[in-house]
Structure 1
C-alpha cells in the first residue's frame, strides 16, 4: 500500500495503473475510519483492479461554529483499516495542497442542497461539491463509493456527476450500524455513555418510520410519529425530520415511489443523522 500527500504523486501512480488497463475505485473520506468506511472499501475492492482512499478533513465544508478543529483524526488507525481492506493507495493531503492561498473557484448547487442539512449548514454542500470535484479530477476513478447514511450527500453527488457530465459511476452503499442499531459515525466518539444510550432514539425512530410506511402513505403522519418518538428522549433535540424524494431531495406529501425519511438530531451537543429509504 502506498501513502502519498501530493496531487503529483497521485496522478503519477494513477497514470501508471491506467496505462496497464486497470480500473480505479475511489473512496473519499474525512478519516477516522470505521466499519462503515470499510464496507465502502470492501465494495470498491470487489469491483475494481485498484482502490484509492482519500483521507482529508475538508475545511471548506465546515461552518464557522462547527467542529473542524475537534473533528477526530487518527491516521495510524486509518492506515491499518485501509491496509486490511486491500487499499492500494491512500491520498492524505494537507489543506495547502488542496487549496492555494488565492483559491477562489467553487462548485455549487441549488435545489437539492437547500433543504435538510442545507438549511442549518448553508456552506456545507458547496464545500462537499468543490472538494469531491477536485478529488475526482485528481484520482480520475471509474467508480466512486459513498454511504447511504449521508443520504442527501449521495443524492447531491449523483446529481452533480449527471449535470456536469462526469464520466464516473457513483455507487451508493448501505448504512452500517452498531449491534444496537446506531448508525456508525465518526462523531459517535463525541458521545458520553449516557448520550450514547440516548442516541439509539434515532435508529428507533427510523425503524418506526419504515414500519409505518408499509401501510401509511401520508408522509405527514409518519414524520409526526417519528418526531414523537424522538421527543421521548430528554437528551434529544430535533434539527429536522422530513420525508423527501430520494433523488430530488424535495419534500413529499405521499410516500410512493422512492422516498427517504431523513433526520438530523442533536444528542447533547453532537449532531447525528440517519435515514431510511421507503
Structure 2
C-alpha cells in the first residue's frame, strides 16, 4: 500500500494504470474507518484492479464548526485497516492541497437543498459537491463507491455526476450495521455507553415503520407515533422522520406500494447527530 499526498505524486501512477488498462476505484472517506468503509473497499477490490481510498476531513461540508473540530481522527488505525484490506493507495491530502485558495464556487442542488439534510444542514451539500468534484478530478477513477447510509448525499452525487458529465460510474453499497442494528458511523465513536444503547431508537423506528407500512397502517399515523416515542426519550431528540422517494427525495404523505420509497431519520443522541434510512420499496 502506497501513501500519496498530492496530484504530482499520483499522476505518474495513474498514467501507468491507464496504459495497462487497469480500472481504478475510489472510496472517498473522512477517516475514523469502520466495517462499513471496509465494505466499500471490498466492493472496489472485487470490481476494479486498483483501489484508492481518500482520507480527508472536509471543512466545507460542516455547517457546525464544533462538529468539525470534534470529528474523530484515527489515522494510524485507519491505515492499518486499509493495509489489511488490500488497498493499493491511500490519498492523504492536506487542507492546503484540497483548497489552495478559498473556494468561491457555490453548488445548488435544487430541491435536494430544501428537504431533510438540505434543510437542517444549510451549505452541507455545497461542501460535499466541491470536495467530491475535486477528488474526481484529482484521482480520475472509473468507479466511485459510496454507502447507502448517506442516502441523500448519494442523490446529490448522482446529480453532480449527471449534470457535470463526470466519466465514471457510481456504486452504492448497502448500509453496514452493528449486530444490534445500529448503522455503522464514525460518529458512533463519540457516544458514551448510555447514548450508544439509546441510539438504537433510530434503527428500531425504521424497522417499526417498515413493518407497519406493510401491514397497511397509515403513514401519518406511524410518523406521529414515532414522534411521540421520541418525546418520551430524554436522551434522544428527533429532527425528522420522513417517507421519501429515494432519488428525488420528494416526501410522501401516504404509502403507495407501486412507488419506490425509503424512510429517513435524523436525531440527536445527546450532542451527537445521527442519520439512518431504510428502503421500503426498491
TM-score by length of 1: 0.95
Task: Give per-residue Cα distances to partners, 1:259-278, cap 9 Å, x unaligned.
Answer: 11101100110001111011
Q: 260, 263, 266: which is aligned to 2:265?
A: 263
Corresponding residue for residue 276 of structure 1: 278
Corresponding residue for residue 68 of structure 2: 68
Alignment partners' CA distance in 1, 2:231 and 2:12: 53
Corresponding residue for residue 55 of structure 2: 55
Quote the offset at 1:102 in angstroms: 4.2
Task: Give per-residue Cα distances to partners, 1:71-111, cap 9 Å, x unaligned.
Answer: 11111111111111111110011111000134323433221
Residue 43, structure 1, aligned to residue 65, structure 2: no
Judged with a 3 Å threshold, the aligned counterparts in structure 2 of structure 1 residues 195 and 107 are, in CA distance, closer, same or farther, namely same
Alignment partners' CA distance in 1, 2:14 and 2:255: 44
Task: Indicate the SS of the match to 2:265.
Answer: strand
Alignment partners' CA distance in 2, 1:54 and 1:14: 15
The residue correspondences of 1:204-243 to structure 2 (distance < 5 A) are: 204-216=204-216, 218-243=218-243
Flag as ranges the 4+ runs of structure 1 deviating above 6 A.
Answer: none
Aligned residues: 278
Corresponding residue for residue 246 of structure 1: 246
Residue 34, structure 1, aligned to residue 34, structure 2: yes
CA contact (8 A) 1:27 1:40 kept: yes
CA contact (8 A) 2:219 2:254 kept: yes
Q: Which has the higher helix share?
A: 2
Alignment partners' CA distance in 2, 1:18 and 1:268: 48
Alignment partners' CA distance in 1, 2:86 and 2:94: 24
Task: Indicate the SS of the match to 1:276.
Answer: strand
Alignment partners' CA distance in 1, 2:218 and 2:44: 38
TM-score by length of 2: 0.94
Quote the offset at 1:217 in angstroms: 6.6
Task: Give per-residue Cα distances to partners, 1:156-204, cap 9 Å, x unaligned.
Answer: 1112211222121111111111111111111111111111111111111
Quote the offset at 1:230 in angstroms: 3.3
Quote the offset at 1:120 in angstroms: 1.7
Alignment partners' CA distance in 2, 1:219 and 1:65: 36
RMSD over aligned CA atoms reads: 1.4
Q: Give ranges in structure 1 of 5+ residues lacking alignment.
A: none
